[in-house]
Structure 1
Amino acid sequence: MENVAIFESPGKGRGLKATKEFWAGDVIFAEPSVAAVVFDSLADRICHSCFRRQEKLQKCGQCKFAHYCDRTCQRAGWAEHKLECSAIKTHGKAPNENIRLGARILWRLDKDGSMMSDTQMVTLEELEDHIADMPEDDLKDFKVDIHNFLDYWPRSSKQHTIDDTFHIFGVINCNGFTVSDQRGLQAVGVGLFPNLCMVNHNCWPNCTVILNHGNQSAVNTMFHSQRRIELRSLGKIEGGDELTVSYVDFLNLTEERQKLLKTQYFFDCTCEHCKDHIKDDLKLGGLEVDGVKPTEEQVKEATDYCFEMMAKMEKARLNGNYHEVVKISKDCLEKTEPVLADTHIYQLRMWSTLSEVQAYLQLFDDAADNSRKMVEGYMKLYHPNNAALGMAAMRSGVTHWQAGEIEVGHGMVCRAYAILMVTHGSMHPITKDLEAMRMQTEMELRMFKQNQYVYHSMREAALKNKPMTMMQEPKNMEEGVKNLFHRRK
């Protein structure tokens, strides 16, 4: 942690600042989790050791709750699971994810003490719990978790005071970090990273956080590397500059971001983008054609209509009625595209979900067109090295490849690769996937330019064998853009 130092950030309390100069893509620091657990809803589909999604997992023979890829993963995860396994057996069932994480943290504290590694800059006792700031309804739910935790906590383990237990659960509530699967495409669990908790928020940050699972596939667990987060620079950072990340998605309006930050993290954001409402005009703007803009009334009417249709579209998606999703979206966009700007956030969400559903239904031409509009809108709103922009460009690149539009597809994949090299680094699995896509689309583009007929003939034959990655079943509209920290649902 020689690259950073704790300091008093004006108006924010403690924060971290750089002690040297950094450039885009530099890893400022890496930090293993104190503890991490799989979400309740995915407990039987995600390995509890390496956090990979697997079709067939082996169940722990003792507690019947934890699941693992194989004996290698089970051995690797035994240190964290040993006491939990016994507690679940005795209790009769596994408690929720917050209780399981709280228990793992307390067992780790009992074993290693407050400073669990040489690189840890703060103790868990020093982290904010914000219990005093909780609304009454949230506090009631919080107390239910504490009550259930006390029932679950083994009598054979060290007994902790109520105040200490409340503090740990408060820290989890406002500082638990969402843990992704091996490829970084889905949030599958929650963990605690003390040094990361010291990095303050900015809506237009100079850093990003990525989970790097390291090597979790070696047969011998002695060669496994630690699951860790990496704080990476998004651009040039001078020595002495405060390090910041964004706790919420910038695609929200200023008012919505500030409401989320106040409700979830108990502070008022005073960053430049909030003070000056930067880009809010684009996010709810009208489409300008030849210098002529629609009236405010027309924009408001189209905005309200789009918002209403988004709710219907999401209901159809949840019911798995994907053809209905396409119909609702097309009807909506037919009315709103002539009025709303290509940066209007409701229209962007519509294009995002529609393109994903169309790709799933193999309507690739339409999916490619809508994903391109989505990416073009994102480019005008997001930081040029935003990970969400990179992932959107990757998705669009694959969709254009599937549609046979190799030139646009290769361009999108290259754009995504450039961004994810900064946000994820060259060794992350998703970046390696992108590198393979980039090489494949580059080769196909050369073939295309030499002889289009031969290219399309060979591509058609290849598609019958093994298509490039197909889209997974569409998720909800917000699934792809998660808040940085895990919050109680």
Structure 2
Amino acid sequence: MTVGNMESAQLFDAGNKGRGLRATKELRAGEVVFAEPSFSAVVFDSLATQVCHSCFRRQAKLHRCAQCNFAHYCDRTCQTACWDEHKQECAAIKKMGKWPGENVRLAARTLWCIHKDTGIVSDSQLVSVDHLEAHVADLPKETSAAQGGCDTFLEYCSYGRSSLPSTTSHTSMELTLSDQRGLQAVGVGLFPNLGLVNHDCWPNCSVILNHGNQSAVSSALHSQRRIELRAAGHISEGEELTVSYVDFLNLSTGRQKKLQERFHFQCSCEQCSEHVKDDLMTAAAESEGNKPSADKVKEVTAFSKECVEKIERLRAEKDYHEVVRLCRDCLEKQENVLADTHLYVLRVLSVASEVLSYLQSFSEAAGYARRMVEGYMKLYNPNNAQLGLAIMRAGVAHWHAGQIEVGHGFICRAVAILMVTHGPNHPITRDLESMRMQTEMELKMFKQKECVYHATRDAALMKQRLLKRKQRT
């Protein structure tokens, strides 16, 4: 069932992948294929008091809804903009005396929206939400009941309305939502058009959240958790549009397992079928033609896996100094055994550079960040958002470490990537462009001072030579 249309994409039969979207015209790198507001969205339980439930901005001080004491907002403007979404949720929470988990809240909001808007929120929506593919039958019976929290869900929905909606479709349309800077996941939302874009581990499009102008006084200018689908490179007319549902930085078997568990299909893209770059992600170190033994590689890989699990747990507990200690120990163990493109090396380097930057140990963070970027560049698509953000982190670390020229170089490379993946008006791109201009200015000032220093030194040397000549004569 199609219900809308858009200029750059159209629905088509993608064979064993089901429905898909293809380009109706030639697209350039960075061009927006379509933008779409969320059909429904909720803040994560763990961040319910730290993130605005309307614009999803992280704020130090938020105003709480006086009726349910659960929803938090930047100000009355955000609260007013969100009231149409929140009023049924507000009534349900008041009647229950508590709030359910994010999955139940998202499912309830979706059903309330379907009942109110018949599954359509914009003229360009290509398919009604209740006509998206369901995957309930793909779940084990015990999982379907447990994950749904059926009793809680039914009670909660009934409190939000006098009667339950007749539609009980389940959709696998979830997309993680980030904060205003695009750096931290703060919630989850449903996007109908995006759900029609099929997966590929090496996609030709990227999807990002662009929250719009949430600082505007008028709520009419606020976007409702809007996503943008952007071309990651040149796309020909008639070519299928694809995005990656999972991070590429995993072995093909690992990606396939995640996709099967979460999205219920077996990925058969070229990257998975031919195990592209799996060899790099499991590579052993090589120095002057010498490689460690297979047993040594196996031993260090097992140690690294266990270490990464500990590191992630300690980072969640915010024990950052212990995280740094474990990262150093793990990297020392990996040295001359695992290559810098190995998955576990890259994961440790990523955490180490991030945590050390947070602790303001910028020189050490910069060294790890540079190694991480060198590995990423051998694995990721050149216009991959994760690569761009990693290069940005490396640039900032080098800049704060006083290595302005190197930092400026990284920041310029990051700008080039994020202009494609995020566009010029995204908050993170604007921040990065400001950093590029500042580092450029600092670099010019440094070079000017260096020129003055050399000129002064040369003048002093010349003066000394002239004095020596006079003394000889």
Per-residue deviation, residues 237-269 of structure 1 (Å, max 9, x unmatched): 001111000011111101100111111111011
Q: How does 1:166-181 map to 2 (within 5 A)?
A: 167=169, 170-171=170-171, 174-181=172-179
- Where 1:189 maps in the other structure, the secondary structure is strand
2:295 alignment counterpart: 297
Q: Is the 8 A contact 1:352 1:370 kept in 2?
A: yes
Q: Is the 8 A contact 2:157 2:164 kept in 1?
A: no
2:292 counterpart of 1:287: no
1:51 alignment counterpart: 56
Deviation at 1:196, TM superposition (A): 0.5
- Where 1:451 maps in the other structure, the secondary structure is helix
The whole-number CA distance in structure 1 between the counterparts of 2:299 and 2:379 is 23
1:250 alignment counterpart: 248
Per-residue deviation, residues 154-181 of structure 1 (Å, max 9, x unmatched): 468363467x32x2xx21xx22111111
In the alignment, residue 279 of structure 2 is paired with which amino acid?
D
The whole-number CA distance in structure 1 between the counterparts of 2:63 and 2:359 is 32
Which residue, 192, 206, 209 being the options, matches 1:208?
Answer: 206
2:104 alignment counterpart: 99
2:11 counterpart of 1:6: yes
Deviation at 1:151, TM superposition (A): 1.1
Aligned CA distance change for structure 1 residues 407 and 64 (closer, same or farther; 3 Å): same
Deviation at 1:321, TM superposition (A): 3.1
In the alignment, residue 340 of structure 1 is paired with which amino acid?
L
Q: Is the 8 A contact 2:51 2:57 kept in 1?
A: yes
2:126 counterpart of 1:128: no
The whole-number CA distance in structure 1 between the counterparts of 2:353 and 2:159 is 53
Deviation at 1:85, TM superposition (A): 1.6
The whole-number CA distance in structure 2 between the counterparts of 1:25 and 1:116 is 26
The size of the alignment, in residue pairs, is 448
Which residue, 115, 124, 130 being the options, matches 1:119?
Answer: 124
The whole-number CA distance in structure 2 between the counterparts of 1:187 and 1:318 is 14
Deviating more after overlay: 269-278 vs 302-311? 302-311
Q: TM-score, normalised by structure 1?
A: 0.88
Deviation at 1:271, TM superposition (A): 0.5
Q: TM-score, normalised by structure 2?
A: 0.91
In the alignment, residue 13 of structure 1 is paired with which amino acid?
G
In the alignment, residue 141 of structure 1 is paired with which amino acid?
A
2:382 counterpart of 1:384: yes
Aligned CA distance change for structure 1 residues 327 and 222 (closer, same or farther; 3 Å): closer
2:39 counterpart of 1:41: no
- Where 1:28 maps in the other structure, the secondary structure is strand
Per-residue deviation, residues 387-408 of structure 1 (Å, max 9, x unmatched): 1111111111111111111111
1:146 alignment counterpart: 150
Identity %: 60
- Where 2:378 maps in the other structure, the secondary structure is helix
Q: Is the 8 A contact 1:179 1:187 kept in 2?
A: yes
Aligned CA distance change for structure 1 residues 55 and 39 (closer, same or farther; 3 Å): same
Gaps of 5+ in 2: 1-5, 454-473
The whole-number CA distance in structure 1 between the counterparts of 2:100 and 2:160 is 18
Deviation at 1:93, TM superposition (A): 1.7
Per-residue deviation, residues 425-454 of structure 1 (Å, max 9, x unmatched): 000000000000000011111122222599
Which residue, 72, 78, 83 being the options, matches 2:83?
Answer: 78
Per-residue deviation, residues 132-160 of structure 1 (Å, max 9, x unmatched): 110234213134x2321221224683634
The whole-number CA distance in structure 2 between the counterparts of 1:454 and 1:303 is 52
1:473 alignment counterpart: none
Which residue, 4, 17, 30 being the options, matches 2:22?
Answer: 17
Q: Is the 8 A contact 2:198 2:242 kept in 1?
A: yes
Q: Is the 8 A contact 1:29 1:232 kept in 2?
A: yes
Aligned CA distance change for structure 1 residues 12 and 398 (closer, same or farther; 3 Å): same
